Structure 1
Amino acid sequence: MSESLSVLLTNDDGIDAVGFRALYEGISEFADVTAVAPADDQSAVGRQLSADVSVREHELGYSVEGTPADCVVAGLESLCPDVDAVVSGCNKGANLGAYVLGRSGTVSAAVEAAFFDVPAIATSLYVPGGGDTPWHEQATEVEDFREATRATTYLLRHALGAGVFEQAEYLNVNAPLAEDSGDPAPIEITTPSTLYEMTAEHDGNGTVTLHDGIWERMRGDDLPDPAGTDRRAVVEGRVSVSPLTAPHTTERHEALDALAETYLDTV
């Protein structure tokens, strides 16, 4: 892409998050970047929208008292309406699997952009748990996000011109932590894993505890996801790129058509 490429950058960890700074610095080397990002952490809010949001100028662009979806709507409709692409991230923590897509604020920002017909990339960093260093103490420096930044900037430079977004509305990118050697990880085109292990337990006293068993299995080196899925790719050290669509498609369904035809005869 040319030097005139313009990008709206948002996230769900907040505008001052280190992963956000990493992408801002990387993309700014070749594009005009405007930050329109939440003022604070908005993780796992999905596509939640607000009626009104407060906006303040920030050294990187705009700080918004709202959700990632708010930021995309405010940005594309008002603050920077003529951008070529939206990038969301880099999230600290992976966004893997089909079941996560609707929950993630990072991914939801890309989905919102897709409804505006603006190409989008959601980028997240896989931070392993269960080691000697607690999860929250990892990935604290811009340099730790270099694998995610490298893949995202490559895709921004080349995917628009290559026609990628003629088939996909957005890309969900998950990158591993950078290796000490500095050697880049390869990119693998993947599909979201369909593994789902949410459980709920009632304690008998009015509380139901919801539990996602997938991360627990991963910490125990139990990875049942088949080859070609996003989770297997990133855990094995590759950058996962899932090309996805956001405007929901519908298909003809003969059984449902038949029910519609007989509806007035039965009610």
Structure 2
Amino acid sequence: MSLIFWTQIVLIVMFALFAYAILKKKAYFLISGFATRADAEQEELIRNGYPQGVGRLFFFLAAGLAVIQILSFFGFSHSFEIQMAFLFLGLFGGLILLSRKEIPQKRKRAFITSSVMAVLVIGGVSVLLLTGSRPVAVTFGPDSLDISGMYGEEISYQDIQSSELLERMPDVSYKENGFGFSSFAKGWFKTKEYGSALLFVDMRKQPVLLIKTTDGPVFLTGASNAQTQQWKKKIDEKTDAPAD
């Protein structure tokens, strides 16, 4: 099973256990900041249904994530991306609604804090994902090719040893310094067959262009199969490097 699969399972189990502990065992100390409140505030929050609401929110998140996970076994695509969107929207939306159950003198501050956090986190993650999943752009200059965007790189034609088209992306062991989400990978990753490599790929796309350089292997996929093949042709024209 992949790392993404186990991440999904851990999230489901974690939220389910927290929901059970809060709703059934009344382990309200698990709620951030609750244990440090004054006794009078804790009692008022319990009367308002705040900790119970947190427990129901965690149960809702666990159930929703589990349903999406089950659907993935029946061919439902992009389950991890949908789970993350559901998690962020559900969690922050729930926190905003729960601010109404705060003690009166802290409700406004709780609402503002939750709203600002939602905007910053969801906005920041959205920008990161959009940037990371954007198809890479490759420009062929007179002396080098330039890979633009996240973890972009300029490669001199003199440093290119060979290039070839692979039927699929080789297995990746782990991320060293890069962006990895769903099928997208940009930056430095450890591969089982080629060691440390610079990736600009969408794992779902074939073929994959492998450029062997003096600084290590570089893997590329274009927005389409034809674009990837065109890049290979351009490299062959610009270099004297043999194709494997």
Task: Name the structure where helix makes up a greater proportion of residues.
Answer: 2
Larger Rg: 2
Greater relative contact order, per chain length (Cα 8 Å cut-off, separation 6+): 1
TM-score, normalised to structure 2, is 0.25
Question: TM-score, normalization: structure 1?
Answer: 0.23
